[in-house]
Amino acid sequence: MNLQDREEPIELKYFRFLEGRIDLSPEEKRQYANVQKGFEGELKFDHWIEQNLSPDYLLIKGLLLEHRGELFQIDTLLIFSGQIYLFNVKNHVGDYYIDGENWHFMSGAEIKSPLLQLQRSDFLLRQLLRKLGTNTTVKPSLVFIHPEFILYNAPPKLPVLFSGQLHRFKKKLNSMPSKIERKHEILAERLVSLHLDRSPHTRWPDYDYQQLKKGVTCVKCAAFMSDKERKWICTGCGHEEDNETAILRSAKEYQFLFPDRKMTTNVIREWCGINGSKKKIRRVLTKHFRHLSQGKGSYYV
């Protein structure tokens, strides 16, 4: 049973909504690509679990927790009655090697060791579980989900699952007896209730309203779409969207990017780059948001 849907990382949302509206620096582009790749890897592993595992289990996708003032992240938590698996999922591609404690690209450049992060999460999770009164053992693993990832010099004891090992891992898990009881559900619900929304370490580009290019951007390729009265067509890839979907989506982007600014029909007309009548905007906003009047003006929340 799945207890929490995987949320798109906040920074990925910022990048997605800003891409096309501002010029991202090479560093920001790299960060965007990394966050996106990481998220895709996590979704792939979720899919693998849901397609392959048959015993009774509880699945929690994406937890940001705090224990004694320290924040830690868990990509995937899989709870069986006799064992808890903590997975951090990596979507690296290509050749890497390990030298002692250090991890490197084949070119020699060092990368941040994913193992250290895993060990830290494991340590803090075990402490938190003890505080919550559970003594079920935790097995931490790094999952390298991409089939084209190679790690040279990896010692056999490394808590790592390579994509080529997932099939055997599935057999192992599926042969394990597990019976989820209410106490396991209570623990899982407790962990979900402790989940924090956003980490203070989250980074995204600076922006302000004036500086952003206005218009409706394409969900597929981030190019601007052109307004064809009843529908919108992407100038980059030709993707089509009906009026309501495109305007609603853009209004939600606006709300996300500018939580402190009021959303009025005029603002959304400018935001979407619509020259014609305000009618179609008002129709969408009235249908999907709450309309509040303030003095002579009004806005939507």
Q: Which of residues 55-114 bind Zn ion (CB under 5 A)?
A: none
Which string of x and - marks every residue 212-231 that binds Zn ion (by CB under 5 A)? Answer: ------x-xx-x--------
Are 265 and 278 spatial neighbours (Cβ–Cβ below 8 Å)? yes
Candidates 239, 252, 278, 283: give the one binding Zn ion (CB under 5 A). 239
Q: How far is the CB of 229 from Zn ion (least distance, A)?
A: 19
Q: How far is the CB of 231 from Zn ion (least distance, A)?
A: 13
The residue with tokens 């891409």 is: 19
Number of Cα atoms under 13 Å in the Cβ half of residue 284: 22
Candidates 160, 234, 257, 268: give the one binding Zn ion (CB under 5 A). 234
176 counts as binding Zn ion under rule CB under 5 A: no
Q: How far is the CB of 16 from Zn ion (least distance, A)?
A: 13
Are 159 and 142 spatial neighbours (Cβ–Cβ below 8 Å)? yes
**CA Rg, the chain, in Å?**
23
In this structure, is the dihedral angle defined by the CA atoms of residues 257, 194, 119 and 143, taken in order, positive or negative?
Answer: negative
Number of residues that bind Zn ion (CB under 5 A): 8
Which residue number, 186 or 237, has a Cβ lying nearer to Zn ion?
237
Length of the chain (residues): 301
Which residue number, 129 or 218, has a Cβ lying nearer to Zn ion?
218
Q: How far is the CB of 44 from Zn ion (least distance, A)?
A: 24
In this structure, is the dihedral angle defined by the CA atoms of residues 273, 279, 282 and 283, taken in order, positive or negative?
Answer: negative
Q: Taking contact as CB under 5 A, which single stretch among the options 170-178, 182-190, 235-243, 252-260 is the one that binds Zn ion?
A: 235-243
Distance CA 197, CA 143 (A): 24
- The H or E element spanning position 39 is helix 26-52
The residue with tokens 């948001």 is: 289
Q: How far is the CB of 254 from Zn ion (least distance, A)?
A: 19
**Six-digit token string for 247:** 């305007």
Using CB under 5 A, list all residues that contact Zn ion: 218, 220-221, 223, 234, 236-237, 239
